[in-house]
Structure 1
């Protein structure tokens, strides 16, 4: 009996210690736990620029028709957003496919679908809705949590960030995020949603790190980033990682609000 009580007491101490370590952001904390192997899915960011006066119409067409027809053809809806800067008339969304070949096949079948053709005829009776589309192809980074639908009420504000690096510096950037940055984001109230590596279209282009964070609001996101940048731990990490020169050449940020039909909110 005494031996059993002793084993129970030791187990309780170990559990308590592990819990405290996690809360402190130590090695066993969720922020520092290495993610599982990245998915082999093929991803695509698509940015739609509507024709003048057609912004609401294109957003609504996705709400009523497009997302459902995507699913019909094996495309996975990841998220749909519009910039918080209302002067930017853009619809930004991300799809996932089993592979690049599957992506090409799905779009071919989608474009030829009579249901989709009927939707286009109906919604564009008074003119085209889309002026042009930008596509960015990606694969999951080793940094990424599992990419899956997640909703909160009220909906969160999302931030799409894109990092370009000096030649040969991408491994340094990945290491900095893996060993430090993600955990510091969590420490300062930011949620790591997903991380991807872009797939350059031309041989002379370098891949970029593209990722999404979630914030309670745009104001909170900006405040948390200011606190992150002033964190002495981050200041040391940045200085140590850039002893041989800067890592990034450009960082782009877009704050976004999810549409009401986005799987991520």
Structure 2
């Protein structure tokens, strides 16, 4: 399974128009062509905020190519695009990433996959020290994610970057109950002695911390969008 993550820098004053396009026009058009949009958000903080962010799931790259070839060949899309743009492009710039599930993200059971997840979501593009993927993954599973959960977040997804800007990345998606919980959780992690000791040990052993710089976007679920815990994945 692969995912496609898109982050759109929206023209000033056009965010409501983007949401209207997705709520009023895209449900039928996506269903017609097999586009599975599993999440949509407003990025309320982060680079280029406010941004519109959405996530799609596919069986594989072949399915992705097929559904978008069908979509772009549909005259209805071009009519909707012209009508909703209203003479001015809504999206000024976009970043696109292809993601594949990391081993640290087990597929949820069917009984849990449909759970609606609200609150404040946090999307983290975490740069990994060059050549240290195996060690970084071990640190992620054994230390980092348990401390994130202890700080109060639900881990919604963990991906490896398959294509896009910055291949040496793990992409993480967390859900916090609200902004206050995010602030408290981040303060907790900044002062977490277990994490501080782990990073100090990494610097001694590898000459660098395994987790380097990161890009963080804080996300509100988009109007009209119910985000499910499974994000299109269900355990066999």
Same fold (TM over 0.5): yes
Q: Residue 30 of structure 2: SS of its match in structure 1?
A: helix
Q: Does 1:106 align with 2:71?
A: no
Q: Shift in Å at residue 149 of structure 1?
A: 5.0
Residue 214 of structure 1 corresponds to 175
2:16 pairs with one of 42, 56, 70: 56
1:178 pairs with one of 124, 141, 144: 141
Residue 232 of structure 2 corresponds to none
Q: Does 1:188 align with 2:188?
A: no
What CA deviation, in whole Å up to 9, does each residue of 1:121-177 have, x standing for no partner?
Answer: 32233433222322111111011143645424xx31000011112211222211101
Q: Residue 84 of structure 1: SS of its match in structure 2?
A: strand
Residue 214 of structure 2 corresponds to 251
User: Hey, what's the Cα distance between the residues in 1 that align with 2:127 and 2:11?
Assistant: 30
User: Hey, what's the Cα distance between the residues in 1 that align with 2:114 and 2:92?
Assistant: 29
Gaps of 5+ in 2: 229-236
Q: Residue 39 of structure 2: SS of its match in structure 1?
A: strand
Q: Which is bigger in relative contact order (C-alpha 8 A, separation at least 6)?
A: 2
Q: Does 1:136 align with 2:121?
A: no
**TM-score when scaled to structure 1?**
0.75
Do 1:218 and 1:255's aligned partners in 2 also have CA atoms closer than 8 Å?
A: no
Residue 116 of structure 2 corresponds to 151
Larger Rg belongs to: 1
Q: Does 1:232 align with 2:197?
A: no
Q: Residue 88 of structure 2: SS of its match in structure 1?
A: coil
Higher strand share: 2
Report the CA distance shift for 1:48/1:206 in structure 2 as closer, same or farther (over 3 A).
Answer: closer
Residue 80 of structure 1 corresponds to 40
User: Hey, what's the Cα distance between the residues in 1 that align with 2:88 and 2:216?
Assistant: 32
1:89 pairs with one of 28, 50, 57: 50
Residue 233 of structure 2 corresponds to none
User: Hey, what's the Cα distance between the residues in 1 that align with 2:221 and 2:151?
Assistant: 22
What CA deviation, in whole Å up to 9, does each residue of 1:34-84 have, x standing for no partner?
Answer: xxxxxxx11111112233432211122111122442233222222111122
Do 2:44 and 2:50's aligned partners in 1 also have CA atoms closer than 8 Å?
A: no
Q: Shift in Å at residue 119 of structure 1?
A: 1.7
Q: Which moved more, 1:85-94 or 1:247-256?
A: 85-94
User: Hey, what's the Cα distance between the residues in 1 that align with 2:172 and 2:164?
Assistant: 19
2:25 pairs with one of 65, 68, 73: 65
Q: Which moved more, 1:155-164 or 1:218-227?
A: 218-227
